[in-house]
């Protein structure tokens, strides 16, 4: 397949995904418009929901391969995006981040109290939205929230006097970020319980790989970026960026291994596995490569 054919094939794959993402954005805007909160935060909305929407992209790629209705995928993606936005609101307050997506963070515009409360509002809306969509997903949804909170608290409360190691750092990354990717993948599964479990674990793997790469970028930032970096190292947080050297582990290789493992978990479902590889190649690989670029240059120098 030549370059133009590859581009054409990618466009055919991306169009339904992009259409779905636009519906999700509109649905979130509608949720905001239905409440008094929407008017109060209108000027801060682009920073809330202007990201890459990788978790939603995962839902649309895998859900289409599983033959799920587009309406279900939209509802699940909307829930996931609201949870992700809430986590970023809280993260920026905790970390003191002043820029995200090229704009001042929400708490810089509206204050810390408003940022925390807005995050809580989004979680409550996401919960209600999911319950109305598919109540059977609720136990997994609650587990995901618990794991995200557990990891954030552990990372925040550990002090420099307590030993940090690679295993702990990867465990935090798996719960902190992998859990929501895992839930997203699970949302895109059919009624096959084995496929649900395999997709969830694949989501954990790819989400962990993404977070490891993001942690590395925080310590080895590029010359230009659209968000505040370097805060993890400044705060002495346990991430792979500060543990890889002592552990003798190559983080680039570990990210590649997790990415490979994620696809291998789906070997029993060839069509699903093919869609997963497309998702990773089109959506995840470019982002991770960008995150790791400066680290690779530092190693060479």
Q: What is the mean pLDDT of the chain?
A: 87
Sign of the alpha-carbon torsion through 22, 288, 102, 236: positive
Is a pLDDT exceeding 70 seen at residue 227? Answer: no
Residue range(s) defining the domain that contains residue 32:
3-300
Q: How far is the CA of 234 from the CAs of 5, 112, 228, 230, in angstroms?
A: 46, 20, 12, 6
Q: Are 284 and 294 contacting, i.e. CB atoms less than 8 angstroms apart?
A: no
Number of domains in the chain: 1
Angle at 153 between CA 152 and CA 157, to 5 degrees: 120
**CATH number for position 68:** 1.10.600.10
Is a pLDDT exceeding 50 seen at residue 183? Answer: yes
**Between 242 and 117, whose confidence is greater?**
117
Render pLDDT for 228-271 as a digit per residue (tens, 0 to 9).
Answer: 554 555 556 778 888 888 888 999 999 999 999 999 999 999 99
Render pLDDT for 186-219 as a digit per residue (tens, 0 to 9).
Answer: 999 988 999 999 999 999 999 999 999 998 887 7
Render pLDDT for 54-70 as a digit per residue (tens, 0 to 9).
Answer: 999 999 999 999 999 99
- How many Cβ atoms sit within 10 Å of the Cβ of residue 76? 28
What is the per-residue pLDDT for 228?
54
Report the alpha-carbon distance of residue 64 to residue 162 in Å, rounded.
46
Model pTM score: 0.89
**Between 290 and 72, whose confidence is greater?**
72
């Amino acid at each position: 397949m030549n370059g133009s054919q590859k581009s054409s094939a990618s466009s055919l794959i991306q169009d339904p995904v992009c259409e779905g993402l636009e519906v999700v954005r509109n649905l979130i805007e509608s949720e905001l418009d239905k409440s008094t909160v929407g008017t109060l935060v209108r000027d801060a909305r682009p920073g809330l929901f202007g990201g890459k929407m990788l978790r939603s992209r995962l839902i649309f790629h895998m859900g289409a391969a599983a033959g799920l209705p587009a309406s279900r995928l939209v509802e699940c993606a909307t829930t996931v995006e609201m949870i992700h936005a809430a986590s970023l609101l809280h993260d920026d307050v905790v970390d003191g981040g002043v820029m995200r997506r090229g704009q001042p963070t929400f708490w810089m515009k509206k204050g810390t109290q408003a940022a925390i409360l807005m995050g809580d509002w989004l979680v409550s809306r996401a919960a209600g939205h999911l319950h109305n969509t598919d109540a059977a997903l609720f136990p997994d949804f609650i587990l995901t929230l618990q794991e995200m909170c557990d990891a954030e608290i552990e990372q925040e409360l550990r002090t420099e006097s307590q030993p940090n190691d690679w295993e702990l750092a990867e465990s935090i990354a798996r719960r902190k970020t992998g859990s929501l990717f895992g839930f997203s993948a699970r949302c895109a599964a059919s009624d096959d319980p084995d496929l649900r479990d395999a997709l969830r674990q694949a989501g954990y793997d790819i989400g962990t790989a993404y977070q490891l790469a993001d942690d590395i970028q925080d310590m080895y930032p590029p010359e230009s970026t659209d968000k505040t970096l370097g805060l993890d190292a400044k705060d002495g947080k346990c991430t792979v960026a500060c543990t890889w050297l002592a552990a003798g582990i190559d983080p680039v290789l570990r990210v590649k291994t997790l990415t490979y493992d994620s696809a291998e978990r789906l070997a029993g479902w060839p069509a699903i596995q093919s869609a997963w590889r497309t998702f990773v190649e089109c959506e995840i690989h470019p982002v991770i490569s960008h995150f790791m670029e400066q680290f690779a240059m530092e190693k060479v120098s």
